Amino acid sequence: MARYNYVIGDVQGCFEALKDLLKLIKFDPDQDFIWFSGDLVARGENSIGALRFVKKLADRGVAATVLGNHDINLLACARGLKQAKAKDGTQDVIDAIDSDELIDWLRRQPLCLMPNEKTILTHAGIPALWTAEQCLALSKEVQAVLSHDDFTVMDAFLAEMYGNDPSLWSEDLNGNERLKVITNYLTRMRLSDVVGQIEFSFKDALEGEMPKGYRPWFEYPSQAAQSHQVIFGHWAALAGKRINEQIQNVDGGCVWGNQLLAFRLEDQQMFAVNNPMMP
């Protein structure tokens, strides 16, 4: 059992900040464990370096990560299903000599992890209508497709992944539509309405004007939070806000010139470093 467990927020290729953060928390790979909230890559100064480093930690058995929306986008670009954007800064991953190895590792990572029996981690959160156990089970449906031994199975899903519909969960959904809405909840969600339908455009702070009928997903009574502490990244404008005792954000917006965060599970302490690559 690890001495300390840390959840680190969205790295987004900010490799120098990640190294600074690990120094700050005195990370000891012989005793500690790191849980990453996804979005390992994109828009920071060194996505390839960050991805290689996290993979090495995971291969050593001292780290694990969930997938974020930028990680999944990288999978689609690497498979030639979407054109990589220059601003994403992930072309170096696609062009790397070890690209196949990195992409094959990345596609096998889950959308949901339980760092302990009372904690659940996803990139964007968990819709109020799902229990923690349901979230874990549904995430495994997506993971099974992304990590399938036949790449064409993954490609078929990634080719249809983009777009906002369906935006509401139903047990009646099947095929790629079912996988798509699960992925959208766990990697893209910020706002929803009272029945759980997602709104995708809002990215501002909580003080911003939200579309009528929509609120942050965590303002509805959460089934998952009744049994587990829910930890999530994705929403940089929250800047690592503690929503309540059961819901914690860990995205400090490092890639936007703010901070990279590490949340220690044992004592609920937050650690932060500034992005050293920003003026």
Whole-number pLDDT of residue 2? 72
pLDDT tens-digit profile of 134-155?
999 999 999 999 999 999 999 9
Domain that holds residue 155: 5-274
pLDDT tens-digit profile of 75-133?
999 999 999 899 999 999 999 999 999 999 999 999 999 999 999 999 999 999 999 99
Inside any domain, residue 150: yes
Inside any domain, residue 279: no
The structural domain count of the chain equals 1
Inside any domain, residue 48: yes
Instruction: Give me the residues paired with residue 146 across strands.
Output: none
Inside any domain, residue 225: yes
Whole-number pLDDT of residue 279? 72
Inside any domain, residue 244: yes
Whole-number pLDDT of residue 133? 97
Segment 227-256 mean pLDDT:
97
Tokens of 211: 């579309």
How many residues belong to the chain? Answer: 279
Domain at 83, CATH number? 3.60.21.10
Neighbouring C-beta atoms of residue 152, cutoff 10 Å: 7
